[in-house]
Structure 1
Amino acid sequence: MKSKLLIATFVAAAGLFTVPAHAESFDGPYVGVQGGFNRAEVADRIDQAGAIDADISREAFVLGAYAGYNQKVGERIVLGAEAGISAGFDDELRGLSGGNALTIDPRYSFDLTARAGYLVNDKTLVYLRGGYANTRVRATLASDTDVVTTSDNLDGWLVGGGAERALTDDISARLEYRYTDLGSDGGEFDQHQALVGISYNF
């Protein structure tokens, strides 16, 4: 009985990925959620915390939401715009600044990007992404006698690419890589992300 149930479950799951989608799956507004892996790397300086004695990095899980609009401009070409917001979990970076303990805590991030894609077929879109990124960061510098906390918004840019697959007429799934550079303050603050998203297409 268990084997029959497992087979039935497998067949049903496989059917989810073979449901035919209409030809306009990537044309119009959409909303979605995404999550995945984030690696942050910081060096030189951050906010008013001063010089960082060594490069520091941290890997964490990130979760976010997004909304956007796709427009087919040809038989196979899709252009779009998207806004997103995200936050990491247990993503504080710790190092030393002038011999004192430094903690860098990214609070949340948002981005505004453009997307250009090519329809491999009616259900599969491959695309490139680029645009503006901003992260709210709190830095805490602790010495033997004092603790100083500052907050700042770091401006930057991101680039990336991925693939999106229509599962049904309304639901699509995507896999994406992003690189974000938030070093506009003169220091280095880079992020590498591998994200999986689920979208509802109106």
Structure 2
Amino acid sequence: MNRYILAALAFAALPATAHAQAYVQVHGGFDSVSVGGESEEGVAYGAAVGYEFPLSENMFAGLEAGYDDSSTKACESDLFVVGDEACLKTGRDLSAVVRLGTNLGARSQLYVLGGYTNARIKATYTDGVDSESEGANGDGFRLGAGYKMSFSDNLYGKIEYRYSNYESDFSRHNALVGLGVSF
């Protein structure tokens, strides 16, 4: 509970300038997940909220919290008996990142990002009669870069690359496009 109060106080302490903007966005794209050297691809999708403020005339910083999910899944059949199946599926991915960037013009920005991420992986096994499942969370770090283009005062689009590295030799690459609203 104390960390939520500290986070609220940190947001309240951010500069309240005329150019500071809060935003919400949706995004989706390519997801490549690697576990133990084996990789699977799927579709990533999610949403984020954030706050961006100027550091100087051409530089800005921001904080962003995101929720993502993915269709990435790997299954193997007939492992122990005919008709059984074992699957490994990615689950939700929560993140908190800091963004630092530069204005390329009146309507475009280039930025880098880095921060914390926590992803869930779920393993299931079905032998044709019974089914068992177990999930685990992995903490890690996220690094990335992106380009943002404003279409109007409040509507923007972006492209972004993200690399996330978690515990137990688990990592992911994302190539995303997004659409957001600033206010």
Q: What is the aligned length?
A: 163
1:162 aligns with 2:141: no
Please give the TM-score of this superposition, normalised by the length of structure 2: 0.80
Matched, 1:193 2:179: no
1:75 aligns with 2:57: yes
Q: Distance in 1 between matches of 2:19 and 2:177?
A: 17
Corresponding residue SS for 1:197: strand
Check whether the contact 1:56–1:95 (CA below 8 A) recurs between aligned residues: no
Q: 1:95 to 1:128 in 2, by over 3 A?
A: farther
Could you say which residue in structure 1 is the equivalent of 2:87? 103
CA RMSD of aligned residues (A): 2.5
Q: Which has the higher contact order (CA 8 A, sep 6+)?
A: 1
Matches within 5 A, 1:10-49: 27-43=20-36
Higher strand proportion: 2
| Counterpart in the other structure of 1:9 | none
Secondary structure of the corresponding residue to residue 164 of structure 2: strand
Unpaired runs of 5+ in structure 2?
1-16
Structure number with greater Rg is: 1
Q: CA deviation at 1:30?
A: 0.4
Q: C-alpha displacement at 1:27, in angstroms?
A: 2.9
Give 1:168's aligned amino acid.
Answer: S
Residue 176 of structure 1: which of 144, 151, 160 is its match?
160
CA contact (8 A) 1:25 1:170 kept: no
State the secondary structure of the residue aligned to 1:168.
coil
Alpha-carbon spacing, 1:101–1:111, altered in 2? closer, same or farther (3 Å): same
CA distance in 1, matches of 2:18, 2:47: 20
